[in-house]
Amino acid sequence: MRTEDGTGTDDVVSMVMAASRLVIGLSARALVEVDETLSLAQLRTLVALEGCGPVKLAVLADVLGVNSSTALRAVVRLEGAGLVDRRTNPDSRREVVLSLTAQGEDVVERVLAHRRREVEALVEGVPPQVRAGLVAGLRALIEAAGDRSVKVPGAAEEFRAALP
């Protein structure tokens, strides 16, 4: 199916795939610059924890879209690296709450700042008249995905409210 401007679904899919490869490449470069021992999956876990604050393992797994055992393996590795903290919930001693350590917060901040600088440089090369459409299109794509691990500017309270 083609839209008024002649763009078809296949064209959009191809461009989103190319953009995702671009963003993954930016993320990988930023991660290598900050901490080459971490994987992109581990970075995603750290960023999710940064976005949703102290949470239980089941919530983190849900936010990441993985099962609890997969999330636990990631948390154990990140805890061993000093990036994640597991503590007993003071309100319910049977529950464990996960949060970033100061070192984990620093890693996330540095990786995202590095990635942001690279994205800013790319955006500067996009004509201003195209940027508004880009923002609207990407926001719609993110909302359609329903991925709660993605922080959308201006939507932090909505994100936190959606957590179980």
pLDDT attached to residue 144: 84
Cβ atoms 100, 50 nearer than 8 A:
yes
The domain limits of the chain are 9-161
The pLDDT of residue 53: 78
Mean pLDDT of 33-46: 91
Is the pTM above the cut of 0.85?
A: no
pLDDT at residue 132, rounded to an integer: 84
Q: Which residues contact 119 (CB under 8 A, 6 or more apart)?
A: 26
Going by their DSSP bridges, the two strands 92-100 and 84-89 should be labelled as: antiparallel
- The CATH number corresponding to 9-161 among 3.30.1360.70, 2.10.10.90, 1.10.10.10, 3.40.190.10 equals 1.10.10.10
Predicted pLDDT at 1: 58
pLDDT tens digit sequence for 117-158? 999 999 999 999 898 888 888 888 888 887 666 655 554 444
Distance CA 65, CA 117 (A): 28
| More confident site: 52 or 147 | 52
